[in-house]
Amino acid sequence: MTPSHSQINSDLLRPLLRTSWKFYVVVTIFLAIVVAALVSWLSQMFYGFGISGIRWPVYWGFYVTSFVFWIGISHAGTLISAILRLVDAGWRRPVTRCAEVITVFALMIGAMFPIIHLGRPWLAFWLFPYPSERLIWPNFRSPLVWDFFAINTYLTGSLLFLFLPMIPDFAVVRDKSTGLRRRIYTLLALGWRGTPKQWHRLESAMAIMAIAIVPVAVSVHTIVSFDFSMAPVPMWQSTIFGPYFVAGAIFSGIAGLLIAMAVLRRVLHLEQYLHPIHFENLGKLLLVMALLWGYFVFNERLVTYYGNEPSEMAVFWRTQRESFAPLYWTMVIGNFVLPLVLMGIKRFRTITGCVIASLGVVVGMWLERFLIIVPSLGHKYLPYSYGIYRPQPVEIIIAGATFAAMTLLYVLFVKIVPIISIWELKAGDHQPPDGSHPIAKKQSLREVEG
């Protein structure tokens, strides 16, 4: 049964207007983990990079793995939401905001890692495109400067893409709240009234931004892949890295979205809004991306194998049957076997099945990033540059705490913004009149006037 407008308001505003003790418990636990990570980071700044496992020749370890992983997860939201908006998929309505929020927070977390990795984060502004006192501009031919532009463009676009459709919902909260909360939401609602002009402008803006954000999202992960493929390192310099990274990013993004939706559905009792069909549709997308991921991995491996270049083959065998083999095959099971079985067989394509497959994909994609970075850096062209990487507690705590940070940000967001777009849900339920074609409408109008 379709919920009424007032029931939609009541259900979706409940988390904002009522706070249970469970909220404080969850916030305290995740905040404690984030604080532990901050203390670890401070200790790294104080004692230096020596307390981490990052040393020559493996300069990129858990931090860059997490950077690439979170930028990938960010593709859950804005990209998927923009595509679903452009094709006007009706089932997207309860899903889009859950997804867009993941993008913004994942980008913020991902963008932290280059700063953590700097060692001296107070000099992060050296990355920015401005002339320094020695008149040395950042090198625009460096992929790291491309990252700066791409991530900032995507973050700005995603923030606005998330914020704009929230304005009408802020107006609903404004009308339903009192006191200080009302004053805050009055400011956030920007005087929204819901006139036809405002709706048209909002929808036009969303359409333009959806068109603009799709290529930006694709470019972001392509550029992140350039950080690797522009470097002469075994198994990195590959033309397939751009699309391979983009596919992997969308893949992990969908997995992240499915997990978030399942948790929200259960915790906030959103069963009336997030239906099994939403999970099934996204599950099918997950299956498609798993096949695509398998295709890219097969391409990458087969071409390397046929090339038979010694330094590349050394990395190839390290990952497939030597020291990194357990991680490699765990990745294959998580990214390919598990989603193929669970999402390919209809009876397993349930909410639980989607969550299990998604957890496998999240683990698998993190391992994929790790396996791209570490085995290659530890086994370059000449024996003098061979080395091993052993992650240290500081890196493990910081990398692990990012999951707590993501959860914490999500929980706080759900407390201040309706996690399902109220107006889009109502617009989806809106029943058009008989003969909704413009000409039919004019005819009915003439009948009224007559």
* Contact set with other proteins (CB under 8 A): 4-6, 9, 129, 131, 135-142, 145-146, 149-150, 152-153, 156-157, 160, 164, 167-168, 171-172, 175-176, 190-205, 208-209, 212-213, 215-216, 219, 223, 423-424, 426-427, 430, 432-433, 436, 438, 441-442, 444-445, 448-449
Q: Which is nearer to other proteins, 111 or 171 (CB)?
A: 171
Q: CB of 422: closest distance to other proteins in angstroms?
A: 8
Report the sign of the C-alpha dihedral through residues 354, 356, 360, 362, in that order: positive
Q: Which is nearer to other proteins, 211 or 388 (CB)?
A: 211
Q: CB of 183: closest distance to other proteins in angstroms?
A: 14
Q: Which is nearer to other proteins, 152 or 385 (CB)?
A: 152
Q: CB of 54: closest distance to other proteins in angstroms?
A: 25
Report the sign of the C-alpha dihedral through residues 85, 91, 94, 96, in that order: negative
Q: Which is nearer to other proteins, 182 or 301 (CB)?
A: 182
Structure tokens at 274: 């997030």
Among 416, 425, 438, 419, CA closest to 16: 416
Grouping H, G, I as helix, E, B as strand and the rest as coil, residue 58 is strand
Q: CB of 149: closest distance to other proteins in angstroms?
A: 4
Structure tokens at 178: 């009192």
Q: Which residues pair with 58 in a beta bridge?
A: 55
Structure tokens at 192: 């929204």
Q: Which is nearer to other proteins, 137 or 298 (CB)?
A: 137
Distances (CA, A) of 228 to 112, 222, 304: 19, 10, 16
Q: CB of 111: closest distance to other proteins in angstroms?
A: 15
**H/E stretch holding 312:** helix 310-321
User: How many other C-beta atoms can be found within 10 angstroms of the C-beta atom of residue 228?
Assistant: 22
Q: Which is nearer to other proteins, 224 or 367 (CB)?
A: 224
Residue located via tokens 């009224």: 448
Q: Are residues 261 and 95 in contact, defined by beta-carbon separation less than 8 angstroms? A: yes
- Amino acid symbol at 377: L
**H/E stretch holding 400:** helix 393-416
Question: Which residues contact residue 434 at a Cβ distance below 8 angstroms, ignoring those fewer than 6 apart?
Answer: 440
Q: CB of 351: closest distance to other proteins in angstroms?
A: 28
Structure tokens at 97: 């905001």
Q: Which is nearer to other proteins, 28 or 139 (CB)?
A: 139
Q: CB of 308: closest distance to other proteins in angstroms?
A: 27
Structure tokens at 167: 């304005």
Backbone angles phi, psi at 194, to 5 degrees: 85, 35
Among left, alpha and beta (phi > 0; psi -120 to 50; other), residue 347 is alpha
Distances (CA, A) of 227 to 79, 183, 232, 238, 364: 21, 46, 11, 12, 21
Q: Which is nearer to other proteins, 137 or 386 (CB)?
A: 137
Q: CB of 394: closest distance to other proteins in angstroms?
A: 33
CA distance 252 to 289: 9
Q: CB of 156: closest distance to other proteins in angstroms?
A: 6
Q: Which is nearer to other proteins, 132 or 352 (CB)?
A: 132
* ω into 57 cis (within 30 of 0): yes
Q: Which is nearer to other proteins, 142 or 320 (CB)?
A: 142
Q: CB of 222: closest distance to other proteins in angstroms?
A: 9
